[in-house]
Amino acid sequence: MTQGTDDRLADELGDLQESGPIDFLVIELPTDRATGDKAFPHLVDLVDRGIIRVLDLVVVRREDDGSVVGLGLEELDDGSTELAVFAGARSGLLDGDDLDEAASAVEPGTTAVVLVYENVWAAPFATALRRNGAQLVASGRIPVQALLASLDATEPVD
């Protein structure tokens, strides 16, 4: 990272010792229907309630030939959301290689939203752990589809 990136990141995050965990999502949207009309109002709500803080929100399209093209956030906004609040949400955490890697996770011909966010709700807990010398050594997510499949497998057969 360059000094400018370090400064921008420091401005965005403040004191890292006081930050909550930082996560990322890569969301695949069909390019012909890539709007934020149903999901993004929930993202705005999470930010408004102080649950998360968006550090980066970047839109890319993986073309049919596999090439990656950056898109403007306005290409997802059909007027039904307040996505303009995320315009310029670039902390410096993501570089071109990160965006290429994120785009490689989605199918050709689709649009991807790359979202990096701080879990503000967990900051007091994480800060207390760090002050006591603890550190997070692993984390993960269980996809809802896997949970549902597991529950279906445990249901008794009639």
Query: Is pLDDT of 62 > 60?
Result: yes
Identify the pLDDT of residue 3: 45
Sign of the alpha-carbon dihedral angle for 51, 53, 56, 61: positive
Average of per-residue pLDDT across 116-137: 91
Identify the pLDDT of residue 56: 93
Identify the pLDDT of residue 12: 55
pLDDT top residue among 149 and 158:
149
pTM for the model:
0.78
pLDDT top residue among 38 and 66:
66
What is the share, in percent, of the chain residues with pLDDT greater than 70?
Answer: 80
Query: Is pLDDT of 128 > 80?
Result: yes
Identify the pLDDT of residue 74: 74
Identify the pLDDT of residue 2: 40
Domain definitions of the chain by residue range: 3-154
Answer yes or no: are the C-beta atoms of 62 and 107 closer than 8 Å: yes
How distant, in Å, are the alpha carbons of 5, 121, 123, 136 from that of 18?
A: 20, 12, 6, 14
pLDDT by residue (tens digit) across 145-157?
Answer: 888 999 888 877 6
Q: Look up residue 68 and give its two tokens.
A: 């990656």
pLDDT top residue among 35 and 42:
42
First-to-last C-alpha distance (Å) of the chain: 60
pLDDT by residue (tens digit) across 68-100?
Answer: 988 887 777 666 556 778 888 888 899 989 999
Average of per-residue pLDDT across 101-119: 91
Q: How confident is the model at residue 1 (pLDDT cuts 50, 70, 90)?
A: very low
